[in-house]
Amino acid sequence: MRSTSTAMRRPASLGLLGLALILALSLLVLLAAPQAQAATLRLDGMQTTLTTDPGTTAALWAAGIIPLPVAPSTVSPTTQAARYTFPITTGRVDAKTTAGFINHSGGLLLARFDAGGWTALNLTRFTINVTGAPNLTAIVNGAARVEIATLDLGSAEIKTYTKNHRTFRTVKNVGVTLNATAMGAINDTFGTSLPSEVKLGTADVLARVAR
């Protein structure tokens, strides 16, 4: 009778052990979930600021081409160039490397007034793509989205900070160079002969992380 009673107790003890293991594994899953979610930062606002290169600004003005902001973008003068702001709408970037994309509203309208009227090239809804070959794309004249610039992050300063209970990611000192596609569109539109690649300026990104 004693041996029978002992045999009947063993499954009960194994059941408790199994339950304990399940609870422990569940706790590990719950603890790991926030870390997995934190691997990607979802962005919901703020802006990218572009300070134009003085030489490029002078070349455009010499050709009669005026770079105007497309609302809600803004522009303010600097000593020898201009500073444009482009609102960030959405985006997703890696929490460690910032690899991903950042979408913007607004854009740039390159315009020139001739005897026959206005000639314009519209570049809107910029997207910063941080990949193995960082680049900037735009909607050209309301049609296709194309790559218009290369981005140099070699000297970029990337930081994350918290203010007023919100988290922000900044990427400063990003070099922006208009590529052959963009310069070809400019030369074709305005009949100019500007170089095939031109340094547009330096960009600073201030992005707000969504809650």
Whether pLDDT at 6 is above 50: no
Q: Give residue 208's pLDDT.
A: 98
Q: Give residue 26's pLDDT.
A: 56
**pLDDT mean over 188-195:** 97
Tens of pLDDT, residues 175-189? 999 999 999 999 999
Q: Give residue 134's pLDDT.
A: 98
- Measuring CA to CA, which residue among 54, 31, 36 is closest to residue 202? 54
**pLDDT mean over 33-52:** 82
Percentage of residues of the chain with pLDDT beyond 90: 80
The whole-chain average pLDDT of the chain stands at 89
Q: Give residue 27's pLDDT.
A: 52
Give the three-state DSSP class for 191: coil
**pLDDT mean over 2-31:** 52
Q: Give residue 57's pLDDT.
A: 95
Tell me the whole-structure pTM to 2 decimals: 0.82
DSSP 76-116: EE-SSSEEEEEEEEEEEEETTT--EEEEES-EEEEEEEETT
Taking the CA atoms of residue 140, residue 65, residue 171 and residue 35 in that order, the dihedral angle to the nearest 10 degrees is -10
Q: Give residue 115's pLDDT.
A: 87
Q: Give residue 18's pLDDT.
A: 58
Q: Are 150 and 137 in contact (CB under 8 A)?
A: no
Cβ atoms < 10 Å from Cβ of 178: 24
- HEC profile for the chain? CHHHHHHHHHHHHHHHHHHHHHHHHHHHHHHHHHHHHCCEEEEEEEEEEEEECHHHHHHHHHCCCEEEEECCCEEEECCCCEEEEEEEEEEEEECCCCCEEEEECCEEEEEEEECCEEEEEEEEEEEEEECCCCEEEEEECCCCEEEEEEEECCCCEEEEEEECCEEEEEEEEEEEEECHHHHHHHHHHHCCCCCCCEEEEEEEEEEEECC
Tens of pLDDT, residues 50-77? 999 999 999 999 999 999 999 999 999 9
**pLDDT mean over 93-113:** 97
**pLDDT mean over 128-150:** 97
pLDDT level of residue 80 (50, 70, 90 thresholds): confident
Q: Are 174 and 168 in contact (CB under 8 A)?
A: no
